Amino acid sequence: MRTESITREHTEVDARRAAVSVRDASVTFSSQRGTVTALSGANLEVQQGEFITIVGPSGCGKSTLLKVVSGLGNYSSGTVAVNGEPITGPRQDIGFVFQRPALLEWRNVRQNILLQAEMRNMDMTRARSRCDHLIEMTGLSGFEKSLPHELSGGMQQRVALCRALLHEPDILLMDEPFGALDALTRERMNVELNQIWRETGTTVMLVTHSVAEAVYLANRVVVMSPRPGRIVEVLDVPLAAARNYGATMEDPEYHQVANRVRDLLGASPSAD
C-alpha cells in the first residue's frame, strides 16, 4: 500500500479529549424469557486516535456496546458521548464495518464505495477523489470495475472498509470484520488495518473473538465478562504503533498481554 501526502503517520494517542466516553451504561430489553441485561454498568474512555479492541464470550454485549456508541442502539441508563456530545441517534462522524461486507452485487468496487457519498449527499468531486485514494491505499487498484462476486473475501472487506472511511469519520467501529476470513487472509488484513490506522489517525473500536488479533491491533484491550456484560479489565498493550506481524507474535510483551487476556477469558494458552 502506498502512503499519500494527505495522510499522516500516527505515533501516539491524542489525549486532549475523549473521542468516546461511556459512563455506567447499561442496556436491558424484554424477551420471552423476561428482562435481559445485555450490558451492565460499562465504563470506558477512548482517546482520540486510539485503537481499542473488545473481547469477550459470545453474547456478552460487545456488539451491543458498539451499537450504542454508533447511535444505532439505545441504552437504558448511564451516559454515552462522542466528542463530548451525548448520543441521541446515528452520527455523521462515525463509520461502521460489519462482519459481512454487505456489498450491492450489481455495483462495482468504485460504485459500492461511492454509495456512502450518495447516502450522505457528499460533494461528489471530493468523494471521487477520496474514493480513488482509499482504493490505492487498500491495494484495490485495478479492481475498480470488478463486481463483488469477482472478489475474494478479503477484497470485499477492503471495499467495505473504504466505504466506511469515505466520509473521513472521526471514529471507526468494526464488529468482527475479519471473522469469516481464512487465517492467512485475516493476518494480512490485520497488517493492513494497522497501517491504515497509522496513516489516517482515525479512532478505532474493534470487536473480535481472536486474542491474537485483539492484542496485535490495539493500544488497549477491553475484556468483557459473560452476560450480563461487564468490562472486567482494560489492558495496555506496550508495543510500538508500527507492528511487524511475525516479530510481534514473538515479542514477550505481546505474550504477556495475550496470556493475561486468556486468563481473564478462562481460555487455554493456545486459544485464539
Q: What is the 3-state secondary structure (H, E, C) of 97-117?
A: ECCCCCCCCCCCHHHHHHHHH
Give yes or no for a contact between 138 and 62, defined as CB atoms under 8 angstroms apart.
no
Closest CA to 41 of 28, 52, 25, 56: 25
Give residue 13's pLDDT.
Answer: 44
Q: How confident is the model at residue 186 (pLDDT cuts 50, 70, 90)?
A: very high
**Band of the pLDDT at 266, cuts 50, 70, 90?**
confident
pLDDT band at 1 (very low <50, low <70, confident <90, very high): very low
Residue pair 171/14 in contact (Cβ under 8 Å)? The answer is no
Instruction: Work out the pLDDT band at 33, boundaries 50, 70, 90.
Output: confident
Q: Which domains, and CATH codes, for the chain?
A: 1-93+171-198+205-272 (3.40.50.300), 102-168 (no CATH)
**pLDDT(58) > 60:** yes
pLDDT, tens digit, for every residue of 128-147? 999 999 999 999 999 999 99
Contact 223, 230 (CB under 8 A): no
Predicted local confidence at residue 268, as pLDDT: 42
**Calpha distance 129→201 (Å, rounded):** 19
The whole-model pTM stands at 0.89
pLDDT digit string (tens) for 88-125?
Answer: 888 889 999 998 899 999 999 999 999 999 999 999 99
At 16 the pLDDT is 52
User: Residue 202: what pLDDT?
Assistant: 95
pLDDT number for residue 15? 42
C-alpha cell at 224: 468483557
The whole-number pLDDT of residue 29 equals 82
- What does the pLDDT average to over 172-195? 93
Nearest to 90 by CA among 67, 58, 116: 67
Three-state helix/strand/coil letters over the chain: CCCCCCCCCCCCCEEEEEEEEEEEEEEEEEECCEEEEEEEEEEEEEEECCEEEEECCCCCCHHHHHHHHHCCCCCCEEEEEECCEECCCCCCCEEEECCCCCCCCCCCHHHHHHHHHHHHCCCHHHHHHHHHHHHHHCCCCCCCCCCHHHCCHHHHHHHHHHHHHCCCCCEEEEECCCCCCCHHHHHHHHHHHHHHHHHHCCEEEEECCCHHHHHHHCCEEEEECCCCECEEEEEECCCCCCCCHHHHHCCHHHHHHHHHHHHHHCCCCCCC
